[in-house]
Amino acid sequence: MAETIRITEIFYSLQGESKTVGLPTVFIRLTGCPLRCQYCDTEYAFQGGDNLSIEAIVDQAKSFSTSYITVTGGEPLGQKNCLQLLKKLADNNLNVSLETSGALDIEEVDERVIKIMDLKTPGSGEMHRNRYQNIDFLNSSDQVKFVISHREDYLWSKSILEKYKINQRCEILFSPNTVNQNPAQLANWILEDQLPVRFQLQLHKILWGNVAGK
């Protein structure tokens, strides 16, 4: 029997975040998430979706004229067959990235996959879910993202950088939760403190707003 995964959507768009921002990318959004971040913009992926075989998912991803694939959610690692999907995509010589909350174990993720891992700030309401052991399994091609909702989030994120020396392991992304945090103010804080981070806005929201499947 073919291994299946519950999928909310598969769509083609520009990458809005991370080091491949602006590149045409296929997004594979898995259904389900154990977290409930206060600023979540993909609540529609918490339930529903369709069960698809891994082979069908890979074939659909390959039908687009790009090698860039992002597996996202929800929380992709919440489904046990996600690891197999990541491996199959990489086996097809695709440039695969995984967007993960940082709450679940990343140790077994295929080493060819770029991990884009959140560390949840106080403003997320899910800071207690951070699995700091995951930091040991990051490499130089990976990225760690902090979503900043206010000054407390910024100071907390700065302290975590200093405590775990994450910037010595991989690239760091600071993204404003624009509902609560002024982007220019966050940029000024980063410059004032000379932090070794990349300031990031979500390109897809600048272009299309909060439109699902973009």
DSSP codes, 58-125:
HHHHHTSS-SEEEEESS-GGGSTTHHHHHHHHHHTT-EEEEEE-SSS--TTS-TTSEEEEE---GGGT
- The answer as to whether 76 is a domain residue is yes
Whole-structure pTM value = 0.95
- The answer as to whether 15 is a domain residue is yes
Q: Which domain holds residue 55?
A: 4-208
Per-residue pLDDT of the chain (214 residues; tens, 9 = 90+): 579 999 999 999 999 999 999 999 999 999 999 999 999 999 999 999 999 999 999 999 999 999 999 999 999 999 999 999 999 999 999 999 999 999 999 999 999 999 999 999 999 999 999 999 999 999 999 999 999 999 999 999 999 999 999 999 999 999 999 899 999 999 999 999 999 999 999 999 999 987 655 5
- The answer as to whether 214 is a domain residue is no
User: Helix, strand, or coil here: 213?
Assistant: coil
Beta carbons of 175 and 16 less than 8 angstroms apart: no
- The CATH number linked to 152 is 3.20.20.70
**Quick one: DSSP state of residue 182?**
-
Token digits of residue 196: 């070794």
> In total, how many domains does the chain have?
1
- The answer as to whether 133 is a domain residue is yes
Backbone φ and ψ of 97, nearest 5°: -125, 150
